[in-house]
Amino acid sequence: MPGTDALSRLQSTGQFALELEAVSRHFGALVALADVNMSVKAGERRAVLGSNGAGKTTLFNAITGDFPTTTGRVRLFGEDVTDLPSHERIRRGLRRTYQISLLFNGLTVLDNTYLACRGVSRGRFSLRRPKQDDSSMELAESLLEAVHLDDVKDKQVAELSYGQQRQLEIALALSGAPRLILFDEPAAGLSPTERTLLVEILQSLPAHIGFIIIEHDMDVALKVSEKVTMMHNGRIFKEGTPEEIENDAEVQELYLGHGGGHG
Amino acid sequence: MDSRRLFSGSFSLKNIHPSVLITAVFLVAYPSFATDFFIFQIGAYSLILGTIALSLMMLAGYGGMVSLAQLTVAGLAAYLMAILGDNSMGVMGLGWPWWLTVIVSVLGAALFSTFIGAVSVRTEGIYTIMITLAVAVAFFYFVRQNYVLFNGFTGFAGVEPPTLFGVYWRDPVPFYYLSLVVAVGFFAAVSYCARSTFGLGLQAIRDNPRRMRALGYNVTLHRIVAYFFSGIVAGVGGVLLVWFNGRVSPGTVGVDVAIDILVIAVVGGMRHPIGPFLGAIAFVLLENFAIDLIDRERFNMVIGAAFLLVVLFSPDGLLGLWNRVRDRLRFRGNAQLSAERVNKDDPASSGSLEKS
């Protein structure tokens, strides 16, 4: 598997990709995140589950800095980034996708991906048109191939189907050299075939790339993750391996509903 | 689409659309058949206003930032020309050489634009308009009340372009060509840079600033840099404007004129850099000839009504109107082509539209 060496090197230093320390986020009187402590090892694949309003997306926003935290510290790869703006956190190897696709509708698929690749490298202010053999452009082309969008790369994003937009969303998150990716419900609204494709893409990621995935589809979530965090009312409710979570009585009662099981 | 190909690097004569060639020939040959009034008051003035409106189109069309202070930026360049160079009022007029005056005036305007950008980029939509409007109003009152630097209500007169290569550049024909070179130059530069990394980034920020942050871009800085570039375009427009008028006064930078620039950009269309020039031509023609259609007191009504109609029937301005007409013609043409094929019972009719 590609990246295994890098992974073992990372893990031998005992570094965490992400550490949250007593992170809270209040919207007025509403407590969206309460005192969340969480550590994700480098290269770890983590699923975050919970009902609507459990604070999952707010958790992502706190990690990326889309919204500031009310209290608590956020550390990325051992560095305290609580006071850094979003774009600085991204340049340190963090990526995310959005629950509702946030793409650049007026630009082509290739330009969208190109910008994503360029965002974490030099030359963001270049007034020259990117050449065909530009490194970011080549990277963008290969990313589009990886998510099976290479045949629509010259189309405008607005012309893409919903499923294709979700795929592009993932391509943008894979750009540059990500070390930790946050996937916010990547399977929402996808057809069964597209879901299979998504699981394939996630499982084929190099081992040194860790990710956290919010997903309601248990099939997808439990298949791609090695550890699961359950959230409830803005708090972490349970943490464990997929099997432990699946077989936990409390969890079954709360989320898996009548009779348990999934699918 | 055609212009996209035109500036895509692989430049070849075959790629040039016939309409581009016709326009180019017309613009170059224009002074040979037009009267001095049409060359100077209509032609050159349209190109200057178009250039200033182009600086707004860059910000609004690509960056989603509607600034009402673009004329103010151009106005500062015009004032700096009078202050640093020569004027006939006996106030200021430091007598710097013309090339230094031009460079410093344009850079001064660009820095002023950067400053306006810095105070307004954190706002969106209507608030950007309000802040830039406030800057425009403040500048207008400041130059009207400041006599030491800006010579107050009277402003400056006698600001002239240099006589170079034995040509007096304020004569209609040379000045027309000067304006044409500037306008075409900026038009080409903006068209090219729209597809550059910076330009693509700016359009992406317009579509989705939050996502751009999540891709590692410093959105605020990107926007401020856009203001700097648009300040250069507006500044050069301002230099031409003061040479065109020969004078600059608070009336040049009034709020009514600032709104005219917005009207030009909106009526022309903000989706393509040709829009501001179309809008400027329409505006200048109406401003000059509406008075012939109706009596003196009412000609502003004709201008207003004409623009209202354009915006009402085509939200993306004259440019959108033209695109719609063209699409309809093309649709009709295609329909005819396919009808012909059906009549001939061509076996290859399911394939391409090419006729062999």
- Give me the mean pLDDT over the B46-73 stretch: 94
Token couple for A113? 């991906």
CA distance B201 to A67: 22
Q: What percent of chain A has pLDDT over 70?
A: 91
Per-residue pLDDT band for B355 (boundaries 50, 70, 90) equals very low
Q: Which of B187-191, B211-215, B294-298 has the highest mean pLDDT?
A: B187-191
Residues in chain B with CB shorter than 8 Å from the CB of A91 are 216
Give the percent of chain B with pLDDT over 90: 47
Q: Say yes or no to pLDDT of A260 above 50.
A: no
Return the pLDDT at B227: 96
- What are A214's strand-pairing partners? A48, A184
Residues β-bridged to residue A240: A228
Residue A138: pLDDT band with limits 50, 70, 90: confident
- B85-to-B2, B158, B237 alpha-carbon distances in Å: 42, 10, 17
Q: Does A112 touch chain B (CB under 8 A)?
A: yes
Q: At residue B230, does pLDDT exceed 70?
A: yes
- Please report, for residues A101, A229, B210, the alpha-carbon distance to residue A46 in angstroms, rounded to integers and kept in the order given: 22, 7, 25
Domain extents for chain B? 1-32, 34-309, 314-356
Chain B CB contacts of A128 below 8 Å: 196-197
Is residue B238 predicted with pLDDT exceeding 60?
yes
Conformation bin of residue B280: beta by default, left when phi > 0, alpha when psi is -120 to 50: alpha
Residues of A in contact with B192 (CB under 8 A): 129
Beta carbons of B212 and A115 less than 8 Å apart: yes
Classify burial at B174, counting beta carbons within 10 Å of its beta carbon; exposed 0-12, middle 13-18, buried 19 or more.
Answer: middle
**Strands B156-157 and A79-80: what pairing?**
unpaired
Checking if the pLDDT of B318 tops 90, the result is no
Interchain CB contact of A176 with B (< 8 Å): yes
Q: Is a pLDDT exceeding 70 seen at residue A85?
A: yes
Rounded alpha-carbon distances, angstroms, from residue A133 to A114, A136, A154:
12, 8, 17
For residue B291, pLDDT over 80 is answered with no
Contact B88, B242 (CB under 8 A): no
* Least confident residue range of A142-146, B9-13, B144-148: B9-13
Confidence of residue A13 (pLDDT cuts 50, 70, 90): low
Q: Is the pLDDT of residue B78 over 90?
A: yes
pLDDT reading at B54 higher than 90: yes
pTM of the model: 0.81
Name the more confident of B349 and A253.
A253
- Can you give the pLDDT at residue B292? 78
Which of A125, A131, A160 should one mutate to test binding to chain B, selecting the residue with the greatest count of B CBs within 10 A? Answer: A125
* ipTM score above 0.90: no
Topology, domain A1-93+177-194+203-263? Rossmann fold (3.40.50)
Which residues of chain B lie closer than 8 angstroms to A87, CB-CB?
213, 215-219
Give the pLDDT confidence score for residue A216 in this predicted structure: 83
Residue A209, Cβ neighbours under 10 Å: how many?
Answer: 23
What is the structure's pLDDT at B69? 93
Tokens encoding B308: 């209202």
Average pLDDT of span A90-118: 89
Over residues B191-199, the mean pLDDT reads 92
> Where do we find the tokens 């005056």?
B101
Residue A164 contacts B where some CB pair is shorter than 8 Å: no
Question: What pLDDT does residue B232 have?
Answer: 96
Residue of B nearest to A65 (CA): B214
Contact B216 A66 (CB under 8 A): no
Mutate to test the interface with A, among B3, B10, B197, B217 (most CBs of A within 10 A): B197
- What's the pLDDT at B105? 95
> Distance, in angstroms, between A256 CA and closest chain B CA?
33
Q: For A228-233, what is the mean pLDDT?
A: 89
Q: How many CB atoms lie within 10 A of CB A227?
A: 17
Which of helix, strand or coil describes residue A89? helix
Residue B344, pLDDT > 60, answer no
Local structure of residue A100 (DSSP, 8 states) = S
Which chain A residues contact residue B200 at CB under 8 A? 107, 111, 114-115
Give percent of chain B above pLDDT 70.
89
CB B85 within 8 A of CB B155: no
Are B217 and A176 an interchain contact pair (Cβ–Cβ within 8 Å)?
Answer: no
Question: Which chain B residues are closer than 8 Å to A115 by Cβ?
Answer: 197, 200-201, 204, 212, 215, 217
Q: For residue A136, what pLDDT band results from cuts at 50, 70 and 90?
A: confident
Residues of chain B found within 8 Å of residue A103, distances taken between Cβ atoms: 207-208, 211
Mutate to test the interface with B, among A115, A122, A175 (most CBs of B within 10 A): A115
Contact criterion met (CB < 8 Å) for A87 and B8: no
What is the per-residue pLDDT for B221? 94
Asked whether the beta carbons of B173 and B39 are under 8 A apart, the reply is yes
**What is the pairing mode between strands A180-184 and A210-214?**
parallel
Q: pLDDT tens-digit profile of A27-71?
A: 888 888 888 999 999 889 999 988 888 888 999 999 999 888 899
Q: Is B224 helix (H, G, I), strand (E, B) or coil?
A: helix
Q: Give the DSSP letter string of B140-200.
A: HHHHHH--TTT-TTT-EE-----EETTEETTSHHHHHHHHHHHHHHHHHHHHHHTTSHHHH
- The per-residue pLDDT for A250 is 81
The pLDDT confidence band at residue B350, using thresholds 50, 70 and 90, is very low
Specify whether the CB–CB gap between A36 and A59 falls below 8 A.
yes
More confident residue, B224 or B1: B224
Structure tokens at B307: 């623009």
CB burial string B91-128: b at 16+ within 10 A, e below: bbbeebebeebbebbbbbbbebbbbbbeebbeeeeeeb
Indicate whether B260 pLDDT > 60: yes
- In a mutagenesis test of the B interface, which of A91, A105, A114, A124 is the best target, namely the one with the most B β-carbons within 10 Å? A124
Stretch(es) of chain A classified as CATH 3.40.50.300: 1-93+177-194+203-263
Helix (H) or strand (E) holding A17, with range, is: strand A16-27
What tens digit of pLDDT does each residue of B17-34 get?
888 888 899 999 888 898
What does each C-alpha distance from A156 to A105, A106, B323 come to in angstroms?
Answer: 7, 6, 18
- Residue B185, pLDDT > 80, answer yes
Query: CA of A91, closest CA in chain B: separation in Å?
Result: 6
User: Which distant-in-sequence residues (6+ apart) come within 8 Å of A131 by Cβ?
Assistant: A137, B9
Across the interface, whether the CB atoms of B217 and A114 are under 8 A apart is answered no
With cut-offs at 50, 70 and 90, classify the pLDDT of residue B111. very high
Please report the pLDDT score of residue A259 as a whole number: 43
H/E element, A19: strand A16-27
Nearest to B197 among A90, A112, A130 (CB): A130
**Region B220-242: what's the mean pLDDT?**
96
Per-residue pLDDT, B104: 96
Cα–Cα distance measured from residue A158 to residue A106, given in angstroms and rounded to the nearest whole number: 7
From the list B201, B207, B225, which residue is nearest A105 (CB)?
B207
Q: Is the pLDDT of residue A232 over 50?
A: yes
Which residue does chain B place closest to A117, by CA atoms? Answer: B215
Report the relative pairing of strands A45-49 and A210-214 from DSSP bridges.
Answer: parallel
Please give the residue of chain A at the shortest CA–CA distance from B193: A127
Q: How crowded is the C-beta side of B275, counted as CA atoms within 13 Å? A: 33
SS3 B4: helix
Give me the mean pLDDT over the A201-206 stretch. 88
Lowest mean pLDDT across A32-36, A248-252, B39-43, B60-64: A248-252
A170-184: average pLDDT:
89
Looking up tokens 């008028």, which residue turns up? B245
Helix axes B219-245, B197-207, angle to 10 degrees: 110
CATH number of B34-309: 1.10.3470
Interface of B with A (CB under 8 A): 8-9, 192-193, 195-201, 203-204, 206-208, 210-219, 222, 225
pLDDT above 80 (res A156): yes
pLDDT at site B9? 44
- A78 interfacial to chain B (CB closer than 8 Å): no
Helix, strand, coil shares of chain B, percent, nearest 5, are 70, 0, 25
CA distance B123 to B100: 35
Average pLDDT, chain A: 85
Q: Report CB contact under 8 Å: A103, B222.
A: no
Give the integer Cα–Cα distance in Å for A44 and A217: 20
